């Protein structure tokens, strides 16, 4: 895979508890209700180190087999080597790695799948990747639970005059072309939703929000500095004001006074 887009296992570990709090349990339980009796096979796309599996497996019946798809073999290895979650009946699940680019996913790769899942994925994909995923799910007639795609909406408390400009520049930065790929950023989820609808599928969205504050100060600060740095890279005109902004927000984080709501959306798609 390409270096610039590489996701670190440390970042995935840092965000995992907040992701678990934010994902829609309602949609997960609705997906669980669609599963057939007996053994189930779940394909998690862009699995990283397996955060979605650790969250969802205990909500689903067993016996369960998970196939973890990612183009980063090192991240999948952490999931397959790590502690395995138990299913709803406290039985161990089976996990297998599948390394490759999701742009090449086909319906045959999902043959026999009971459910496709993903988390924090759609916003980092290209339109080609998303088309391939939707076509593969539709071809395999397999429901899909696609969690935690960013919507681009951020609300910081207390407010500051620079918030909107940083939000705007960050959202533009997400759409940049990097390593020959143009990521869809906040358009990823609406595009996936539109493609499923076009195929005649039902799609149910759920609003999901990261609520960052003094309870997870490291995640709040890592997220915040990444957000501002990307915005300044996108719009160097923000550089001078961003210095004051960073100092202000740093002192608010240190005093436990800063809170951020980072909006996401979960989608559950299934055939009519």
| Subset of residues 67 to 126 that bind ligand SAM, contact rule: CB under 6 A | 70-72, 75, 101-103, 119-121, 124-125
| Subset of residues 195 to 224 that bind ligand SAM, contact rule: CB under 6 A | none
Instruction: Output 7 or 32, the one with its CB closest to ligand SAM.
Output: 7
Helix (H, G, I), strand (E, B) or coil at 153: strand
**Spatial distance between the Cα atoms of 193 and 269, rounded to a whole number of angstroms:** 8
| HSE (side-chain half, CA atoms, 13 Å) at 87 | 19
Q: What is the dihedral of CA 53, 54, 60, 64, to 10 degrees?
A: 60
Please tell me the count of residues contacting ligand SAM according to CB under 6 A.
21
Instruction: Output 17 or 190, the one with its CB closest to ligand SAM.
Output: 17
Instruction: Output 103 or 199, the one with its CB closest to ligand SAM.
Output: 103
Name which position in 18, 87, 109, 129 contacts ligand SAM (CB under 6 A). 129
Least distance in angstroms from the C-beta of 18 to ligand SAM: 11
**Spatial distance between the Cα atoms of 261 and 180, rounded to a whole number of angstroms:** 31
| Subset of residues 20 to 59 that bind ligand SAM, contact rule: CB under 6 A | 46-48, 51-52
Is 22:210 a contact under the CB 8 Å cutoff?
A: yes
Least distance in angstroms from the C-beta of 178 to ligand SAM: 12
Is 192:134 a contact under the CB 8 Å cutoff?
A: yes
**Spatial distance between the Cα atoms of 99 and 45, rounded to a whole number of angstroms:** 10
Residues 6 or more apart whose Cβ sits within 8 Å of residue 98: 43, 67, 68, 69, 70, 76, 109
Judged by CB under 6 A, does residue 225 bind ligand SAM?
no
Judged by CB under 6 A, does residue 12 bind ligand SAM?
yes
Residue in this structure with the two tokens 């009519």, named with its chain if needed: 272
Instruction: Output 44 or 162, the one with its CB closest to ligand SAM.
Output: 44
Say which DSSP state 227 is in.
H
Least distance in angstroms from the C-beta of 142 to ligand SAM: 18
Instruction: Output 119 or 252, the one with its CB closest to ligand SAM.
Output: 119
Q: Where are the beta strands (DSSP E) in 10-99?
A: 40-45, 64-70, 94-99
Least distance in angstroms from the C-beta of 253 to ligand SAM: 23
Residues that bind ligand SAM (CB under 6 A): 7, 12, 19, 46-48, 51-52, 70-72, 75, 101-103, 119-121, 124-125, 129
């Amino acid at each position: 895979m390409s270096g610039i887009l590489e996701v670190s296992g440390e970042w995935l570990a840092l965000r995992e508890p907040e992701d678990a709090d934010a994902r829609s349990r309602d949609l997960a339980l609705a997906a669980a209700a669609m599963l057939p009796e007996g053994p189930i096979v779940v394909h998690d796309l862009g699995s990283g180190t397996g955060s979605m599996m650790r969250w969802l497996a205990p909500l689903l019946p067993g016996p369960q087999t998970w196939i973890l798809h990612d183009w980063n073999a090192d991240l999948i290895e952490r999931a397959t080597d790590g502690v395995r979650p138990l299913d709803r009946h406290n039985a161990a699940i089976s996990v297998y790695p599948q390394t490759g680019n999701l742009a090449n996913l086909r319906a045959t790769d999902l043959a026999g799948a009971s459910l496709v899942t993903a988390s924090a994925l759609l916003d980092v994909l290209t339109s080609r990747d998303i088309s391939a995923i939707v076509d593969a799910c539709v071809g395999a007639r397999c429901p899909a639970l696609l969690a935690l795609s960013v919507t681009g909406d951020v609300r910081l408390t207390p407010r500051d005059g620079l918030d909107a400009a940083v939000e705007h520049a960050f959202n533009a930065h997400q759409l940049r072309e990097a390593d020959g790929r143009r990521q869809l950023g906040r358009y990823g989820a609406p595009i996936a939703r539109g493609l499923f609808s076009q195929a005649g599928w039902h799609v149910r969205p759920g609003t999901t929000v990261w609520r960052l504050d003094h309870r997870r100060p490291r995640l709040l600060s890592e997220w915040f500095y990444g957000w501002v740095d990307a915005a300044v890279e996108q719009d160097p005109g923000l550089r001078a004001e961003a210095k004051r902004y960073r100092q202000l927000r740093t002192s608010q984080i240190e005093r436990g006074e800063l809170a951020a709501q980072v909006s996401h959306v979960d989608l559950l798609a299934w055939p009519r």
